[in-house]
A and B are shown apart, each in its own frame.
Chain A
Amino acid sequence: MSSSEAVRCRGLVRRFGEREALGGVDLDVGEGELVLLTGPNGAGKTTLLRVLATVLRPTGGRAAVFGSELPRSANPARRLLGYAGHEPLLYPLLTAAENLRLYAALQGVDEAAVGPALERVGLARRATDRVSNLSRGMRQRLSLARATLHGPRLLLLDEPVSGLDEEGRGVLRSLLGENGVTALVATHEPQWFAPMPARVVTLRDGRVQG
């Protein structure tokens, strides 16, 4: 794998029992590239992101993140990627700052990173509010702060525009526009990303089209 490749999948397969969610995906994502994953519901977009986020183990084929083969070398890959799923992946009864402090401990990042991360997503003044008291858009912004707390080089974002308020969309644009950040984004709204240079990849029935 070339050092300029952030993601490399070859014949990647993932099954859930009898059902084949990914049926041999071949995909390369270059470093610094923005790739939009599109396709109908059930095409395998979320499964692909979860495999690359090391949340699911591949059933077959190969996947690598910055040269680290999954699942064998998952831990080096985990330090380099930030994953934001459908759900914000936050504890509703903890405050915004407590959630980020927890993830800072899990990522091995200094707690001092929490303040700037909240600042960046415009939630510094809501740091002591419980997540259950935040609006959906705020939770999505906090989810972005969580996913980027450790300064990942690869962002794996699942429908990030959905539920985001205008301020959050600005945050997302600035995150994706940062120098050197690679992003693989599953979305039903590729047109939203139109001002940014992006490559569109379509998944259908667990395979890359075209």
Chain B
Amino acid sequence: MTRAVLALVRKDLLLELRGREVVPAMVTFVLASFVLFRFALGGDRLGGGVRAATGLLWVAVVFTAMLGLTRAFAQEREHGIWDGLLATPVDRAAVWLAKACSTFVFLVAMQAVALPLFWLFFLQEGDGPSIPVLIGALVLADAGIASLGAMLAGLASASHAREVLLPVLFLPFAVPLVLVGVQVSVATISPQTSALDTLQRLGFLGLYATIFALLGWALFEYVVED
């Protein structure tokens, strides 16, 4: 199973390196969002808008992730390759795990560009959120988004209305992620809350990722087999 997962992840990374369909689109989207947010929050002077900007960072992260997820199974769908994968004896959980791993890598790659941009656009004036906490929260959130998103993208890929279905399925589940992500990030802007609160919120993000990882692992077979 490990070999199959590694082979599928390698395949996704190679396809992205050659096709450049997902990460460049996500980076462009997040950059455009930051430009819009910057103007919406006051143009020249951000003032007290750092908290609002930190919240909007999470909104941008979730919408950007959704953009990537709509392409998660695009190759398999467009070229009928699902049939080829399903006719092999590979565990369906391995297909889910591989897609979750490659989605996680794409999200981290997008954020590696997005965070410096966020700093450039919003954190030049006054206090900002703790960068280590923000990175930790984003990594945990990415794990949750990838686990949940890979499962829902597989489910939506079987539908003719997949472009509509995926956001409808994904966004309600993403609400707690955004709420806690915003709380944990904003709380580190002075005046700060206790380290215990921060740890509890990071723990929630970890728990969220774990729950959807277990669900993806257990349910993906029923999601993709018709």
In the assembled complex, the Cα of A81 lies from the Cα of B7 at a distance in Å of: 21
Q: How large is the interface on A (under 10, 10 to 19, 20 to 34, 35 or more residues)?
A: 20 to 34
For A113, list chain B residues within 8 Å (CB). none
What DSSP secondary structure best describes chain B's contact surface? helix
Chain B CB within 8 A of A112 CB: no
Residues of A within 8 A of B87 (CB): 53-55, 78, 81, 83
B69 CB to nearest chain A CB (Å): 19
Contact-residue bracket for chain B: 20 to 34
Is B226 within 8 A of A56, CB to CB? yes
Given contacts A57-B226, A78-B88, A106-B7, contact A93 B83 (CB under 8 A): no
Beta-carbon contact of B7 and A102 below 8 Å: yes
Does A207 belong to the interface (CB within 8 Å)?
no
Contact status A94-B81, CB under 8 Å: no
Binds B, one of A24-32, A84-92, A165-173: A84-92
Q: How many Å lie between the Cα of A90 and that of B75 in the bound state? A: 10
A-B contact pairs, 29 of them (CB 8 A): A54-B86, A55-B82, A55-B83, A55-B87, A56-B226, A78-B87, A85-B83, A85-B84, A86-B80, A87-B81, A89-B80, A91-B11, A91-B79, A92-B79, A93-B14, A93-B18, A93-B19, A94-B11, A94-B15, A101-B7, A102-B8, A102-B10, A105-B6, A106-B7, A106-B89, A107-B88, A107-B89, A108-B4, A146-B84
Binding site for A on B (CB under 8 A): 3-4, 6-8, 10-11, 14-15, 18-19, 75, 79-90, 225-226
